Structure 1
């Protein structure tokens, strides 16, 4: 075998990357790639080890081995394999892209971005390189550059369906709704049953879908050949257009069918979640006093039930010159996952054994991971709704942080959750009874923690904001330790990317007519019953 492997003539073409391998070896390479794709990491590892014994240091084999290691959460081994591959093919765009993925997984975002950009520089005509760069820029919150990269990908390959969808998403987040509509429609021109494109159109809440859209959606759902993911997304979109047109019974039927299909993919375990919430509360009942009570004062957590107005309150705070709106960050949960791996115990089992020094270390780790959100402004928001689960332990981990618990009328919030397609499964929002159980757990936990720490946790009522915006905004800013700034009253003018399903709504002045639940009458009684509220007196109009 050669001591070094010749570079492929066209590195972005898969057929050329198996350079100098024999046909049987190429077949095994393809089998290993399929196994990685399908999650069969054990068989894939055996095949790659066997191939590397026959073709030592082949860069494409090393690259696939790196992908396998990354899937198995072994970033150090993945980095080592890619380093060996790049030693032979220094400007390999695919290996550079994969190394960027490794560095991102390891928490080095700057290094990851540099590698993704380098991959585009060495292969400027490779649409998937630009798509990958744009996708990752979007995930990391760099929405403007993401749009540019995705536009480049679409220009290089107009048939690249995912690029059109993500371009639509990124334009929505920037408030460029007409352009977003065109991107989603371009995706539908390629694939009329593209659920992600219909999801994007439906998520522009302030823009109703048309009668023609409603007719097309209904026709698509009559097809027998739809992929299940597309059928679900189209069902949610049909529910949205029906509600917009006042067809409430039809909207409820479409949304119920879509949610039922979503739930069958991964059922929510309400009893198990209740037990987990109790375990978190019990584990955090006796936390050590913090070493530094000011640690985390840069952070403002906005928590609560999804669709309760958390994006609106983030938009208000992000209009303040001292606050960066970072949207829904995964970092808090990921820091706890890291610690669970280090201790080889799942959260919250290890919480009682954690010392004040441990909590300080974890708090600093969170601040380290989120440092890029404080490059322009000293404070930042983290509005991942389910961070309410960690509100208790934040007293030890980030005692200086402020927590804004956004509350909306539970029936309105619960119904809004039922209408929204959530992609992370299992999810509580697929049945009205599960939604009610989740709300009970959330409210009980937050009520307990807020009573213990009223200076650290504020219960912020959505309806109170609608009734008296200026008073509520002043009180919110004071709670966060921020001076009043009139820009917060004109939050809808704030120039920032909004990366949630409320991106269109928060770019408009306050709408005091957001209630929808009463229009569904008794159809929502399972939700009311679960919440212990009076049942409806009228049927659906």
Structure 2
């Protein structure tokens, strides 16, 4: 507030309160009054940009902050908020650059370090994310999101003891932190203790906790009870958590069924690609979640020519941006797209993912939900390899039911929806594979467990890769694994991963949804 008269200082305080209280018109008026007298004042411009962000005007916020920085290049807060504005526009590289600049100008501010760490973690640079998040936690030990995200980044790097320490730190601050319990539970190779069972029971009895925390703790309790062999109690905990999540964010089957029908019809005939080799660098891994996709990616990422990029949003973003450009929802515009259109979209995807080819020539894109777009890949990225992973349907479905998914609404909250979604996914991929058998390949989790070397050789051959014995030592890889299977894929292959049979008739509704006989 330096250099402002007392009246304008109070106006800026009042504007900040108005932004907080969601009265944007009042905030705009107060900021306008101050800026009319002090058009170059850094804090007034910064608050204006924050208001613009809060009112969905990110391009204006970027322009306001850039104007302010031109006048005050050494103001760390302006650079920090510029990172926020770029992030709101999806400009990740510019956001990271702005947060880096903010941390350089004022290394004592924890929030820019947190934002930088979060962005680096999303980029897959978990080592750099850990360093940034450790700084944020050192500067602000009570910054709960930084503590939890640091635990996540450490877990993704396989540093599970350190991750556990961070999650426990978070629980000492907030015993009902669902994200901390979720992090502990996702270290699936380490069972929670009896003391954790008592703590979870105590927290779940509280009435003053957020529903999201209650869902996460319910999943953690279910995992704990399963590890103790108390299967009815585990089933009850998972069912209660999913029922609450379904009430909070209902998922509906009819839109998915309609989408699959439209997509199969729209992709039946596609123009011949201009460049049949476009996308040969890419190995897509698709299918239902919890079907072994992370394990297959870990095997491939052990190959010296392959970078494991984990779950990338880029394919869906490119298709969504084209839908916005055309003003028509996908897949309705697919029949109107020319070979040149598909080549442009394929090149857009490759440009967005170029960083994953900096060290190795090939990379994996392991977003299971990309099964919804597999039908267009023979026109958009005709040189790409598509691997569908499948696992025993009951084990896949039950594993989905037990997993808390970040993205909501989600089909995994009810057994009926899981069964229907599994059938839709397999139907769509069967049709896509029949249309493009040279590029879309089916690989089964159980085959990898039964005959690892033979399955790995076939996997590599389907990707056009030579055999490398390192792929059988996948568990020794040090890459970041940013999925719920991070702990499991750092162990040698285990043949005792099946869990559904222990639940007996409790899973008969799920068997019915999958078209399987009862127990």
Task: State TM-score, norm by structure 1.
Answer: 0.91
| Structure 2 Cα separation of the partners of residues 194 and 62 of structure 1 | 36
Number of corresponding residues: 515
Pairing 1:252–2:241 present: no
The corresponding residue for 2:94 is 111
Q: 1:425 aligns with which of 408, 414, 421?
A: 408
1:300 to 278, 283, 286: 283
TM-superposed deviation, 1:55: 2.7
Q: Give the corresponding residue for 2:33.
A: 54
Distance 1:177 1:282 in 2: 46
| Kept in 2: contact 1:107–1:369 (CA 8 A) | no
Q: Which moved more, 1:461-470 or 1:77-86?
A: 77-86
- In the alignment, structure 1 residue 31 sits paired with structure 2 residue 18: yes
2:140 maps to 1:153: no
Structure 2: which 5+ runs fail to align? Answer: none
User: Could you tell me whether the CA contact under 8 Å between 1:123 and 1:129 is conserved in 2?
Assistant: no
Q: 1:443 aligns with which of 409, 426, 429?
A: 426
Segment of structure 1 superposing worse, 175-184 or 87-96: 87-96
CA distance in 1, matches of 2:19, 2:89: 25
* Aligned ranges 1:383-398 → 2 under 5 Å: 383-398=366-381
1:449-481 per-residue CA deviation (whole Å, 9 max, x = no partner) reads 111111110111000111111011001101101
1:399 to 375, 382, 393: 382
Rate the CA distance shift 1:308–1:20 in 2: closer, same or farther, 3 A.
farther
1:357 and 1:432 map into 2 onto residues whose CA distance is: 42
The answer to whether the 8 A contact 2:12-2:44 is kept is: no
Runs of 4+ in 1 over 6 A off after TM superposition: none
Quote how far apart the aligned CAs of 1:61 are.
Answer: 4.8
2:251 matches 1:268: yes
Contact 2:11-2:34 at 8 Å conserved across structures: no
Task: Give 2:68's match in structure 1, choosing from 85, 88, 98.
Answer: 85
Tell which deviates more after alignment, 373-382 or 225-234.
225-234
Alpha-carbon distance in structure 2 between the residues aligned to 1:276 and 1:199: 32
Cα displacement string for residues 353-389 of structure 1 (whole angstroms, at most 9, x for unaligned residues): 1111111111101100100011000110000110000
Query: In structure 1, what is the equivalent of residue 448 of structure 2?
Result: 465
Secondary structure at the residue paired with 1:259?
helix
Question: 1:100-122: per-residue Cα shift (whole Å, max 9, x none)?
Answer: 24444556544332221111111
User: 1:19 & 1:301 partners in 2: Cα distance?
Assistant: 60
Tell me the secondary structure at the aligned position of residue 124 of structure 2: coil
Q: Distance in 2 between matches of 1:191 and 1:445?
A: 44
Tell me, yes or no, if the aligned pair for 2:12 and 2:31 is still in contact at 8 Å.
no
Task: Choose 270-279 or 424-433, whichever is displaced more.
Answer: 270-279
Q: 1:404 to 1:7 in 2, by over 3 A?
A: farther
Q: Which position in structure 1 is the counterpart of 2:108?
A: 125
CA distance in 2, matches of 1:314, 1:71: 39
Alignment of 1:301-380 (within 5 A): 301-380=284-363
The residue that corresponds to 2:475 in the other structure is 492
Question: Could you say what secondary structure the match of 1:497 adopts?
Answer: coil
CA contact (8 A) 1:181 1:201 kept: yes
Q: What is the correspondence of 1:496-515 to structure 2 with a 5 Å cutoff?
A: 496-515=479-498
CA separation of 1:518/1:19 partners in 2, compared to 1, >3 Å: closer, same or farther? farther
Matched residue, 1:143:
126
- Rate the CA distance shift 1:158–1:25 in 2: closer, same or farther, 3 A: closer
